[in-house]
Structure 1
Amino acid sequence: MMEQKTTKIYNFQDFRKCRKSKQIDLKIIPNNSINSNDAQKLVSGLAHCTNLKSLVLNLMNNRIESYYASYLGSSLAHCTNLTTLELNLISSSFGNKGLISLSSGLAHCTNLTTFIIKIGSSEINVESASSLGSSLSCWNNLTIFELDLFCNSISDEGTSNLCLGLSKCTKLTTLVLDLSQNKISDLGASSLGTALSKCTKITNLILNLSDNSIHSEGGICLSSGLAHCTDLINFTLNLRRQNSIGQQGESSLGSALSQCTKLRTLTLNLEDNKIGIEGGSSIYSILAHCTNLTSLIINLNDNQIGAQFTQSLDFCQQKLSNLQTLKLHLYKNQINGKGASILASHLACCTNLTILKLDLSYNEINENGLKSLASSLAYFTNLKILELNLMHNIKVLENEEGLLSLNSSLAYCTNISTLMLNLSFARFCLQDVKNLCCALVQCTQLQNLKLNLCLSNFDHQDTQNLSSALAQCNKLQNLELSFYDLNIQDQGVQNLSTGLAQCTNLQTFTIDLGYNLIHHQGISSLSSALLQCNKLRALNLNMNVEESSIATNLAICLANLVNLSFLKLYLYNLSLSGEQYLKAKINKMKRLVINIF
């Protein structure tokens, strides 16, 4: 079958040319006000496109008068052959009247199989959400439905009426609902659970219910509906902020997901949901049933799961061997060294991981916990991306064993191309830094490096080791170094610059030297090093300076970075004359797209 050609238009003038088109993609430049003449062309043009089967209409951030917004629905009512409709009306002042009229008109489009509508931040309330629910009940052939209603006020009543229509769409295979910030409580979540129990053919499901008021009862009812979606392959649930499903709700969710044995990708965001030790354990115990998982992302930030939760991973040991992506966000959960060690022992079974992200910041992990976590990395020989956040673990790095293990383990991870380490607030000894730098050298394929040592005791004496390591990372393309409020001094910047000059493949470079008093000598060395990085496209510098001569060095450097197109400068304490000089020089470099001081 010959593929239908899509007619792409960017203004209302061309609409009259599209009356015989079967596929139209209309995108209007955002942040404009659509005048009455344009709106008239839109609604009258659509009314004549009776052959239309596919329509993409992007009016995002364009203000539409309510009078013409109401007529859009009447025009679409003539397009009864529509099978695919995508509307982006975010922040378009479409409002309740517009959505009610639109829903009324779309009720005639009974052939719809794909409907995507984005109408966030548009003052939508109960009445218009209910109207959309009524239209949903007419689309018996709908297989793909995506609704973005974030930051409105549909409340429980609007959610219930919307879900009543949703329950009629029994052929759905893909459902995406963003109902965040909509004043939804347990009653609305219960209605959604009921609707999901009718949509048993769903394979792809994304639910964003963040910033509502859903508690344990709502979590239980929602989970009850999810238990019927046994064909799920990809599932994302966001309940972060202001919700508190607690241990009971989270336990019910765990039981429901244990029925979804076909799952391949699972993302759960339960940040700040008042989940304790028992609930934290249940979320992991269900993984024993999901043996097909290739991607697992769990956000339990700011709960109280403690150290004992990691023991539950014993249930799924040897069951997660298919995992390729694992991201665990466990910020502020009272996890101690023992908990980290148990976590590490069970992670070792995930030998096929290519992406690993562990956020264990603001916990109570000691050097033994770090040592165990570092040692587990030796099993991940296929690892390409590693992110490890140990920020503000006050008991970590009191001796050198942890980073020594990191050095030894990374020697096995020869495929790592992206490495992000956050060790801010750590207390290093000299050997620690040497071990860290030796670990970096082991990553011979490293292209992206982000190293955060803010507010640690890393100082100018340690920069020599880091400089040597950077000099050997000759494949680096993106480098971000955070040294905020350290004792780097000019000598430290000079040391770093020696290694940086060897990174000739760098394309983006960010360095935060805030609250490190840097003088002419340090800036001069840094500028000279950057001149060796002639492939640099993006540069972000943050530092305290006090000498006007610094502006001259920077200006010369920037002028010679011919490929540089993106620039951010935060230069605190620079004199007014130095700032004016630098701005004048930068403004002449037409290729730069942003300048911030």
Structure 2
Amino acid sequence: MKLLFIALMEVVECLLFPDITGWNNFTLVEEPFLPTVKEIDDMEAPETAARWHVWMLVMLGIAFLVAVAGTLILKCAERGPQTDPAQPGGDYAPLKVASRLVSSAAEQDSTIERSTATVSFKPRTLKVLLAISLTITFSTSFAALAWSSRTGRLSKDCGADWEVYAGLLACSGLALVLQALIMARRLPPGEKFGTTAFAQACITGMAPVLSDQYDTMKDVMFAFLCMQSEHVEIQAMGIFSLLWLVGVHAVCFAYEDTTAELLASHLSVLLLTPDTGAGVAFRDELLVLLYKQLTPTKRFLLLLENVPQAICAIIFLRYEGGSVVVTMLSLAIPALQIGLAFLLYGAVRAQVAPYFGRRLRALISAGDQLLAQRLWREADFESDRGLFRQAVAFMHCKEIGAERYDTVISLWKVALDMHSGLGEEQWDLSDLGLKEEVPLVEAFFAELAASECQKLDVDLSQNQLGDAGVSGALARAFSGLKKLQNLSLNLEMCGLGAEGTGALAGTIGGLVELQKLTLNLKGNRLRRGVSGALARAFSGLKKLQNLSLNLEMCGLGEECALSLLEALRATHPAASQLDLGDNDIGKGAVALARALRSGEVSCHVTHPVVEMLLREEFKDEEAGKLELNLRSKQDFGSLCQALPLLRLWEVELHFADLGLGDQSARTLATSLSSQSYVRKLSLNLSGSQLGEGGVVSLLEALRATRPASVQLNLGDTDIGQGAVALAGALRSGKVQGRVTHPVVEFLVQLQDERFKELKQAQKLELDFKWRGEEFLKAFGPLCRALPKLPPLRELALVVCDCPDEARALASALAAGLGKQKKLQMLTLELSSVDRVLLGEEGAKAVASALRELTELRTLKLNLGRNDIGPTGAAAVAESLRRLQQLTRLEVDLSENGLGPAGATAMAESLRELRQLTWLQAWLHRNELGPPGAMAVVESLRKLRQLTLLWVWLGNNALGEEEEAKLWSALDALPIGDKNINFDPRPRCAGGFS
């Protein structure tokens, strides 16, 4: 219609030309046909203009007639559904398959190609036809212009005659009409071409400047103009121009992009696809047409073909003088084309990209595959990644990175049935946001189903397709893959539920030729409703030899595991892999493990409990026995999950040096609580980091199961009140057996009264005076237990005149004492009549322990007869000085050889205890001398808050005069109950009042 309008306007213009018409009466102007150059030069200007008008009108008429003829041919080719009498059951039914209508009979006959294959040509065929078209075009132009040059009808001012141009245009039109006849013959029933499809093809196949036929004609004409020159160099340049023209077109065959560019010009009608009825805005059509003239491929061809020709044209003009034809056709127009290609390419591409993206998305959603194919070819994304980068944002909801462009292009090519080798590729379509692109996925899998491939590997993970996408697109696609033998499908994190998985499983179950199946359903919401569907699907695959199924993070249960086991028993594949992750499959794990151990099924199962149960140590679990030495903390959780599933009589578990904490102990306790049949239990938890909470949990488990024999090794960890609870259970008989832990062992040996005091009042009193055998039995456990005992408020330890072993353990006792930092009252007596228990180093150990007891209020300390010397006394004094909160102090350092230095150290320490109200100090027999004794008494002047002060200074080399001075100093103190005793042997050492 556009061409008809243009032709009518030309007719109106011609009516106004007086040299051709009179008013409403045509006047025939006689002129020569195919005039020579001389005849044209002899013509008057009006006559020359008349020829231009007439032949322009003729060429427009040719274009119009070609457009009308081609359009009518394509329209007449449209045929509705009809009956094919030659084919049985040949009634054509309107069966919709990817936007194409085919007969139901043809649909059932797999040997009949679909309509796209019928309309379109194979690439090789197109190249052959292109070569023929190029040859004919070049030959026609060469013959016409050679004849014009030889007969004097070719000039550098006017070029060839208008008649020659019209003839060449008619030849191009005839070629397009012939193509229309071919396409009409190939059009399948029920299909049609768009009304303007042929006219649009004429633009790229006939239009001056735009078509390759025009470029060929003007280059051949320039070559003959050169060969008409009198200069040999120019003639040679003409031959070079012809050879360059042929060479350029030959080179174009080596590249797909340049071949496609030539196809769009020479075989534009053969590239037409049937219409789907979807309207396209005229502005968008023009933009796309303009974009085709600006693409990098078109720009490359323009440069390749025209730059050498332009150089030759400049040389020609330099030697031959001015030529309108050469200047316009070989210089001005190509320069304008190339310049516009560089200037407008970016802007036009930005305008066209959204159109391509939105249109492709809309067409694939509507199922209009044919129009989408045409649009894809027009966009030529594979050769123009810049355009694809701008268009892909409109083709997909999810942002696509540049590294995935090849993948997305391949996806679209398959969906549009424009990809080869479908069954030979691995399709990585993960994380492409295909949840919003279900029509694209459906088209993709529809083409895969149609390919009848035997091997398929598709990764659709992290696309959140959901039940609708999988039960629809995938299920329908796989139902057509009847010849599939090897399937790998990754649907990890695709948002599947029971419905989608059930539909997929049912479809896969119909692939009876399947020999290898790899199915990844990890991270989907399958829950417990798919076990039956999966089991039925696999049970029906009798030829299945290799099965790999990933069901991690799917929330499956015991029923699913048992169903899968039955499926494995039914199919018995030679190799299989079952990944169950950490799904809670209950006793299904036991059933799987027993079947695998017995060889009933051959499968590698990835599940922590199943893998645990398959260990060698569990070989006797069916007999109720388990002995396991766990060396990895990572396996602990699996063991705790496995234990409740078994019925065991004897359990021996070793967790030494695993560093288990309270939470692990609670988990183990929960697991053991279910073992109501256990009679013998042995747990080795040495090297653990258990606390009070963990031990209490284990104790509750022991009380619940009540095994006849318990062996519990807790090492020496600090379990706080848990030790008291364990000891109480052992003492009462609620737990039968032995617990290896220093505190528990010690508490078990305590008398009932002492244990009750410790438990209720946090008080412990132990007197080892004169008890040799009892000392040997209890003092060692005490030394080991003291650092780990629960916090005590009161502690009284009397170690006096005990065996020689006491000296070796006294320092250990002192070290443990420092851990009881909550003590408020301490009585510590470490002395002996006939042997030294501490010595200087022992005194330092005791002092370092006392230094930590910052909450002490009352201290009774007897270190008499320990030979601690002045150094040991200084250490003890320094520790006392730090106990600023003391209110009552009874200290016996008699017979230790303190000397003046030791006395001075004690004096300096005592004067700092400003909270002290009660002080008794036994310092006799220490060789203090007058200075030392006076220093002690003088230091007491600072303690005016004292209410009781007794000091024993006998046998310290003091005369009567010194004793009187000391009495005088003491009398000056405002203390109600005070006394200095100079008796050389006041009473037995360590006798506290």
Structure of greater relative contact order (alpha carbons < 8 Å, 6+ residues apart): 1
The TM-score, its normalising length taken from structure 2, stands at 0.24
Q: Which has the higher helix share?
A: 2
- Is the radius of gyration larger for structure 1 or structure 2? 2
Using the size of structure 1 for normalisation, the TM-score is 0.38
